[in-house]
Structure formats: C-alpha cells, structure tokens
Structure 1
C-alpha cells in the first residue's frame, strides 16, 4: 500500500481540531468519553502522522532501536483497536529486514545478536511484545515463534543466585530493575495465553510476578521505583510512568492466564497510587518526572507515558471501573485539545505547557492516549479531515494581494457511501473558493480508509498583518463531523530558530531529520531536510544564512527537485567544532514566478553518511529584494 505522504504537511501549520476547544478539566472532574467515530478519526490522524516518520529502508523510526519497537507496537494497538490494517506491511518489513545480526551503531548502539536480541535485555523484550502484537493481528506463526526465541534468550538472564531471582537488565549482569522484570512477566504471560497447553511460560510469569511484588521495588505508596541496589534493597529512584504501567500490565496479563483473583488487588493498588495525590498526575494530566518545569525528557522518557496508557487501556477494558475509564477520556481530551501543534504532531507535555517538544517518539506516546479512547468494538463508520500543505506566504512589498493553495483530505471508513460536504472559512476580508464542495466516499469497511481531496484557493488581501491566520474546513456527513485548520503564516521576513514552532511553516520536507530541541535540527546518514522560501513574484535577489556545523552538505534549488551543491564540509567535523553562520546566494537558483511567488529551496544533508555526524542547523534567516 502506498502511504499518503503527510511528511509534506510539515511546511504548513495544518492541524485537525474540533470546533470547540477541549481543555483539561479540574482535578476530580469527569470528562465525558469522546464518541466512537470521533475517537477513531483522531487516532487515525495521529497514527498517519507517526507513520510518516517510519523509514522503510532500515525499517525503523530513525535513531532509536527500542523506541522503534514501542512505536510499532503502538501502531499495532491502533490497528487492533480500529480495524485499520494499512500498516501491516511496515510491521512485516521491519521483521524481515531487522531480524539479522548487525554491528554496533547501525540500528542500536549495541551490536544486535540476531532475532532482535542484544546485551540490552529490556530492548530485546520490547521487540518480543511487538511480535506478539503482530501475531495477534495476523495469526502468522512466524511472529509468535520470534517472540518465543526472544523469551528464550531473556530466560538465560533470570538469576536466582542474586536477590533470589529476577532478570538482569543487561548482558553484564550489573542491575536488576523494574522495566526488565515488568516486561518479562508481561511477555511470558502473553506467550502462555497464546500457546495451548503451555506450562513453561506460565510458570515463568508466575515466578516473575511473585519475585517482583516481593522485591521491594513497589514502595509503601504503591509506586514503582526504578530498581534494586547491590544489596537487593530498593534504590528509591525515580517513579517513571512506564514502570508503573508495565507493573499494571504484567498483573493483568497474568490474571488472564490464571484467573487468580488475588492478583487484581495488587493491580488496583498500583493503578490507584498512580492517580492519587503524590502519584503521576498533575492537575488531572499524566505527567512524567521530566515533564516538570525546568526539566527535559530524553529520547527514552519521551515515550514513557504512552507505555503507561497502553496498559491503562488494558486496565479500563478489563475492570470497566469508571475511575479508570474516566482517566482515559481525560487524557485523550487533554492530548487532543492542548498537545497538538500545527502539523498534527503530538508533544511531550500533554498539558501543552511550554517549552514543548514534538517528534515521532512524543507522537507515539500521546497516540496511545487517543487509542485508549477508541471503543473496544470499533464504530461502523468514521470521518476525518486533514489539510495538505498551505505554504507560508512572504507578502509582496508592492502591497498587493496574494494567493495560496490549501488542500483538504477527507478520509472515511464504513460499509455504505458517504456524501461529505466540505465548507471552508477564513478571516474577515479573505476569500476561499470554492465556498462549498460535496464529495462521495465509498468505503469498504475499516481495513483501508478511503479518501478524497478538495483543493481550495485562498486569497490573502494586501495589508494583512504578519503572523498566523487560520483557514478552517469542516467535513460533514449526516451525524459525522470533523474540522481541520490551516494556520497560514504571513510574513515579510524569514528568521527562526530550528526545533521551534517558528520553524514549522518553512520546513518543506523533514525527511528523516531529527530535532532534539531548540536550535538543533540535524540529518544523519542518508537523511536530509529542506526549507522552502516563497519569495514574492517580483523578487530580483535573495539569500539564506544558516548557522550550521558538523558534516554538512548544503544544496539549493528553484523547484525542490533539481539541486545544486553550494557547500560541503570535507573534514570529519564532530561536536560543532566548525559552527559558523554561512550565507548562500539563492538568486541564480530561484524558480520562475508562479502565481504570487518565486520559490527558493535549501536542503541540508550529511557529507559523511556513515559516521553519524550529519549537518546540524541552529538558526535560519532569509532576505530578498
């Protein structure tokens, strides 16, 4: 299946939003559950955005091995929950391409030993859970066989000679911790529940649960500390949400395996501790330790809350306790209402607090909150809408009006044709044509949503103030309604830090590049990123200045397709040793006037693609006459 490329949506602040803003309710308030079709549509929008970051050649999400396993498992959750099956090919692509032996630095900092195993025992377990999920979706035994191979490898690190049991965190056997053992219990219980007549894995799961619950890692408040000291006492380290969630999930899967009602009180204690005062919730919002003001989550911590919500979804499904189902509704509403940027990306801080960070890891994490809100039986039909790129607009100096194209993409699932009416709206004085469009969608179930595109022409009047201006479009079919918004950036100059919201409208193609915060966008290996500057049609000269370092290649273009190299770092520069502001003349490469603009493009890539120090950009300005 060809994935609808939403990568290009990064050049516009196009974001799907409800007409009524959803805000976090005060602590203790009840959030009504989102209706099934809307919850499904939201999850679909977020899942598609996540999968736009999937890199098919290496068959992963760039630069994170265990995080890729969790992201793919999240996509598996999405497919299982909604009936959408479009991403089964990507799961299998990863399975086939990445099951071999790889040297350190190719997919993981550690050498990969084959069958998704490495010295990082917890990394291996994450992949085991991913392949159980793939088996659930496809019933292909090769996935379950792989999960068994991984479990057999991990089994070798269960060591009763230290602390009476438990799985070591690493191949060097230096640490026993909550994540590795929570994963072990969940994985072995999942294997038992899918293998008739199994006794081996059930025994391992029960042994693991008994050891874990007696280990001291669950503290007196019911919260899970990170691990054990050398003397086998709890180290009292940070209560991370994923450890809490995994403990809940481990108990639930073992409960399904045994029907032992004595397990559930421990599960409920863990769950109640998480949402109690002093737990993991701030003002009603799930909050990681590193989400607090003045702190920053690393690439691992960005995904912890999503893991918690994956197993909280299991808790809500299993118990139907209103306290737990209400929490699902509240997190989903908070993420959708407060934590989306202008490109449908979901951020690290679900409350929307600034500074917020957006990347595929935060996307996968927050997506789990949206998936949890989808009913266990997916709705018979759903309708969503997104916007394809609306370009940023550099207004002409002559004071004349200008135009921009916006494309609305409407998606639907169901078993009967839908007549969908798309109605746009724009700021006062602006004109959008057509004023109304009707399209017919003919879905054939949930497995592969159908879509149609509606092009809009937007006229921006002279004298429009610089800043973001919203053009909305609402798609309606009977009782189904979904709205999308493009925030069009009107500007007279270009000046932004990378890794910020100000960068987003100019980022034409993010490809596999990454941003690890403010003033930090980089492209390693064969990845790149492209900025597009739509200068006014009467532009006679233009230049772009990039503060850049490391091993860069800078290319320019007038059409975004034919490239001329204007700078290459020929030395293997690491750690920003060659950081400088470099100015590139775009004048010879500007495209012809097309409508209201002449475009200039700048692409940054890696001059030494094999060593991981690709071009990094901190700040960008562009000028024109």
Structure 2
C-alpha cells in the first residue's frame, strides 16, 4: 500500500500548496504570521474563525468540573467563563455545551458555606455578599435564556437583580450600587454590571418599565459620578469623599461601560447614549490607554508583572462588549481592532495544545512567564468568538493532535515509536472528503503521512468528529529539545493546520506551574497552579505526571519538592495505583515542605511502544479541609 499512500501524500501537498498560494494572493487573514496582524477593515475568514473558536472552546470546557458544576477555584470567574461559552454557542450555532450550563444552574443555585464554591458563603440563587459576583451570574443566566428560551433562567436573573437592587443607595454619593454587603465601596464594575443587567432585563420582559427606569437612573448617575476621567477612561471607583480614586483603568471596567451603554441604547434608541459609548470606545484604543502596539494590554501584562486570577479574565470581558459594539455600529475600525486581537492570539499566544495565554502579544519573561490556564483561555476565547461573522458560516473544518505536547525519552540506540491521534471535526450540510498531510522533522517519519478522511456533517449544532491513529518514528539520535510536527487538513475549500510539540528529553527536571511542566503533565485532574512553581490538588482533585522512561532504563528515582497534605501514588498503567507517600498530619502552613525521594525501579515495565512509562499521581490526604498535596519541583535520577 505504500505507493498509494505516497501518491495521496503528494496529491494532498499539491492541493495544499495551491490553497496556500490562493490564500496568499487574497491576503487572507487566516495566514499565520510571526508578528501580530496589522489592522484591517476585513474580518478573519469566517469558516476559519469558527474552527479556531471551536478548538479553543473545547480546551476551555476540558477544565469544567461536572461534579461541582463550575471551573475550579473561582466563583465569579466561572460565571464569566460559562457566559463566554454561551457567547460561543450563540455565535456559532454549536449547542454541545447547553448541558453544562444547565448542570451548573441546577447544582449550584442552593446555599453553600464559605470555601465550597466561593470564599464567601453563598446565600442561594447565586447571590452572596460580593454584589458584583451576583451580577455576573445574573448576566450568565440571561445568556442561557437567550440560548434556550427556558424561563427559569430569566426568572433567576430577575431574582438576582432584585437582590442587587437592595444595594442601590442614594444616601452615599447620590446613588450607585455598593460593591459588597458591608457597603464599603462604590466602584465601576458593580455599576457597569448593574446598568447592563437591568437593561437586558427590560429588553427581554415585555411591557417592562421598572427595570428600564433603574437602568436609566444608573446610567445617568454613572456618567456623573466622576469615575470616567477627563481622558474618557474609567478608573476603578470612588473615594469615601465620592471622587474619582484614580486607581487603575482596567479593561473590563471600560468594556462594561461600553456594554452597559449599548444595551441601554437598544432599550431607548437615545442617540446621546451611543455617542457616549463611542467616546468610551475611542478612548480605550487611543494614545496612552489600553493598547500596546495594537494589542489590548492590561497593566499587569507587563513582563515584570503577573496578573492575578481576576486580571486574567479582564480583557475577555472587554472584548465581549467590544464585539457588541462592532456588531451594533458596523464601524470598520472596531471590527479591525477585534480582528487584530484574534490574529495575535492565534499566531503569538497559543501553544501546541491549543491553550491561550494571558498576554495576547505572546510576550514572556523568565521571572514572569506568559500564563496559560482556564481563565486566560476563556478571556482569549471571547476575542476569537468576536470575529465570527453573522450569519454563521455554513461549514467549518478543524483538527487537533493528541497528545499535543508528548514526551519521548529515547533509548541509547534504536528508534522510538510515538502514537498520536489526529482528530478532525466539521460542521456543515454536505459530506466532506478531507485530505490529510502529516509533516515531521527531518529524519522522522509518520505512518500514514497522507490519508483521506470522510465526514458527514449535519448542521452546526453538533460538529461531527473523526479520528485517525498516527505512528511517528523518532530516531534515537534526535537531540534534546522541542520538535514540531504538523498536520494539514483540507476539504471543499476549507483548510486547517494543527501541530504537536514533541519534547525529546533524556532528563526529568522541571518547576511546576511553568511551561516546562506542561509536556509531563498527563492529567491536570482539577488541580490548580497559583503562578510559578507550584501545583496543588485540593479535595477530590489530583494531578498525574507521565514519565516515559527509556527502554534501557534499569533503575530510576523521582525527587518531589512537596508539602501540605499530600497523597502520592504510582502506577504503570494509569489504572492500578500503589501509595508511596502520604502525609498523615493535617498540615496547612507548608511547614513540611521537603525533597522526598520515590524509587520507581519496581515499576519499570516495558510497554508496547518500547518505553517504560511510569505514572505518578498527587492528591489530597485530607480532602475535607482544602490543603491538598502541593508540588514545587520534580527531578529524576535515571540509570541506563
């Protein structure tokens, strides 16, 4: 069959070359460039935009915990992430994630003590002392109502808004909603959310006058509050003396002010409101504002800083409402800005696993590396979703390689066979014969290197999927480092490229919570990483490393720098586990931090691919108190 396969490969490459020339001739924004895309009056190719967003959405939902029905560790961030998934579904027609939305609604609408889902006690119906958190959930359920038409979501949004209305107070600063239940601060985020929430309620409740009146009043108060400074930028909030506190202009506050005005304009058609919105938008992308070399940039995105878990999602909120602005005004400048963000994210801020980072320019530094997690994924997904045209393109084609960041630890001689699955997904209404071409580094080979895959899409609501097993042969002489392989898929004028970043390593030595950890992290298992050099697993969470030790390994030890309430287990098949370390004391202060040695020699068993894989899993020995095993550094000693 080899001549047939080679013929297919040549045919595929020829077609891809023709397609590439066509794309270049048309100056298509789907072409990947090494630098951020320049402003353009044209949005990215619609089918490609859908495919990119689908890949990013699937990565995001890989972090969703169906048991707790949220994204680990953050309550308000989970609301925004689910709202982002709702935006994606509404924009693309993909309806695969309606279930998780409803799962969250049903499981998390009750009363919860502090520390279960939020640092604050949850009072029921998605309310808490954090008034802005409550508003985020109100907007999330309005998005779910728009998607499904189920009145239970609208009713919940009304319940939340009635709760928030109790914190509107004219006795301090003449109006505004308090940020917290203790009534200590009036700020931009809480009041921008309030205007948007009340206006959305009015626009969805026939005959309403109450919510419209509240939205009008809040908008008028906000514009006169002083939070919008002389440059048209929104500072964080007000002082106790009811003046602008001069604190950071965060992108989400600017975006919420834009979004609030747009929804109220839809309710009133007052041209003055739209004029104000444009002024806020133009100020955001003006000199000395929120943009660096054309890319939306948070102050904490500087390479000598790191955004906290809140700041990681701010830019996505801005882009949610910027998309609304571009859709509403049809202003080419606003569309061009959105396109520029999406292109920079895809070209510069994406790793081989499809994860999207916090710095959309892709900038990084040793002390403050670009961070990739579910919050940054949700944020960037908003930008990718925003460039999908309306109406939704009738067809799309996407592909992934799994694992996308595999590790090969070659033996001293011979070759290693690396199994990788190519996944292809498509939407549309006609059968697709997809041409696949696989390119590997020099000296490597892929089997098959060219093939055909047939898909039968049936609309946009449920993308169809197909997979093909690939076997990559890696020479033992390959130098250590990262090596990239590429799969191109093409069908009926659609084209998508996906990559795998293969790490060749003869040693194991990495800090957790960094990009160096990613290839070894086989299963994140709901674990978390608060910045650089730590990963921890609280409660029912865990994380698993896979070490594909060389075939000629005779003994091995792994050294973990670890603390807190750890449970460490080892397996040869990721199914049957042996406990090798356990902290039997309830330690929550890190006082037991130490290097601990685990002998892996008893677990060295040769697998089908010739390596001797060992799985190491860290979890929580006291799952009820939230201080699970925390690892800082992993190193191995290997004897061949």
Which structure 1 residue ranges, 5 or more long, are not aligned?
1-16
Matching residue within 464, 482, 486 for 2:500: 486
Aligned residue for 1:452?
466
Separation in structure 1 between the aligned mates of residue 126 and residue 148 of structure 2, nearest angstrom? 19
Shift of 1:602: 0.5
Shift of 1:488: 0.8
Change (3 A) 1:594 1:543: farther
Aligned residue for 2:23?
none
Shift of 1:32: 4.3
- Quick check: 1:523–1:529 contact (8 Å CA) kept in 2? yes
The Cα offsets for residues 36-81 of structure 1, whole Å up to 9 and x where unpaired, read as: 0000000000000000000001100001000000000000000000
Separation in structure 2 between the aligned mates of residue 495 and residue 611 of structure 1, nearest angstrom? 31
For 1:448-597, what aligned pairs fall within 5 Å after superposition? Answer: 448-597=462-611
- Quick check: 2:562–2:631 contact (8 Å CA) kept in 1? yes
Per chain length, whose mean CA-contact separation is higher, i.e. which structure has more relative contact order (CA < 8 Å, sep 6+)? Answer: 1
For 1:302-381, what aligned pairs fall within 5 Å after superposition? Answer: 302-354=312-364, 355-381=369-395
Separation in structure 1 between the aligned mates of residue 471 and residue 41 of structure 2, nearest angstrom? 38
Shift of 1:595: 2.3
Matching residue within 369, 387, 408 for 1:393: 408
Shift of 1:33: 2.0
Aligned residue for 1:73?
83
The Cα offsets for residues 425-481 of structure 1, whole Å up to 9 and x where unpaired, read as: 111111111121111111110000001001111111131111111111101002100
Separation in structure 2 between the aligned mates of residue 599 and residue 462 of structure 1, nearest angstrom? 17
Find out whether 1:201 has 2:211 as its counterpart. Answer: yes
- Quick check: 2:37–2:343 contact (8 Å CA) kept in 1? no
- Quick check: 2:323–2:338 contact (8 Å CA) kept in 1? yes
Shift of 1:502: 1.2
Aligned residue for 1:218?
228
Matching residue within 96, 111, 115 for 1:105: 115
Matching residue within 101, 105, 122 for 1:95: 105
Find out whether 1:421 has 2:431 as its counterpart. Answer: no
- 3-state SS of 1:295 partner: coil
Aligned residue for 1:4?
none
Aligned residue for 2:260?
250
Aligned residue for 1:166?
176
Shift of 1:34: 1.1
RMSD: 1.2
Q: Structure 1 stretch 131-140 or stretch 532-541: which is displaced more? A: 532-541
Aligned residue for 1:599?
613
Separation in structure 2 between the aligned mates of residue 167 and residue 370 of structure 1, nearest angstrom? 32
Shift of 1:304: 0.3
Separation in structure 2 between the aligned mates of residue 396 and residue 211 of structure 1, nearest angstrom? 70
- 3-state SS of 1:273 partner: helix
Change (3 A) 1:200 1:317: same
- Quick check: 2:101–2:144 contact (8 Å CA) kept in 1? yes
- Quick check: 1:31–1:330 contact (8 Å CA) kept in 2? no
Find out whether 1:21 has 2:36 as its counterpart. Answer: no
Aligned residue for 2:248?
238
The Cα offsets for residues 202-221 of structure 1, whole Å up to 9 and x where unpaired, read as: 00000000000000000000
Find out whether 1:127 has 2:137 as its counterpart. Answer: yes
For 1:131-210, what aligned pairs fall within 5 Å after superposition? Answer: 131-210=141-220
Separation in structure 2 between the aligned mates of residue 76 and residue 622 of structure 1, nearest angstrom? 44
Shift of 1:623: 2.5
- Quick check: 1:557–1:590 contact (8 Å CA) kept in 2? no
- 3-state SS of 1:378 partner: coil
Aligned residue for 2:21?
none
- Quick check: 2:255–2:321 contact (8 Å CA) kept in 1? yes
Shift of 1:388: 1.1
Find out whether 1:271 has 2:294 as its counterpart. Answer: no
Aligned residue for 1:36?
46
Separation in structure 1 between the aligned mates of residue 604 and residue 140 of structure 2, nearest angstrom? 47
- Quick check: 1:18–1:483 contact (8 Å CA) kept in 2? no
Calculate the TM-score normalised by the size of structure 1.
0.96
How many residue pairs match? The answer is: 606
Shift of 1:555: 0.3
- 3-state SS of 2:570 partner: strand
Change (3 A) 1:187 1:22: farther
Find out whether 1:383 has 2:397 as its counterpart. Answer: yes
Aligned residue for 1:227?
237
- Quick check: 1:537–1:594 contact (8 Å CA) kept in 2? no
Aligned residue for 1:6?
none
- 3-state SS of 1:262 partner: helix
- Quick check: 1:494–1:622 contact (8 Å CA) kept in 2? yes
For 1:288-303, what aligned pairs fall within 5 Å after superposition? Answer: 288-303=298-313
Change (3 A) 1:20 1:601: same
- 3-state SS of 2:128 partner: coil
Aligned residue for 2:426?
412
Shift of 1:572: 1.5
- Quick check: 2:619–2:628 contact (8 Å CA) kept in 1? yes
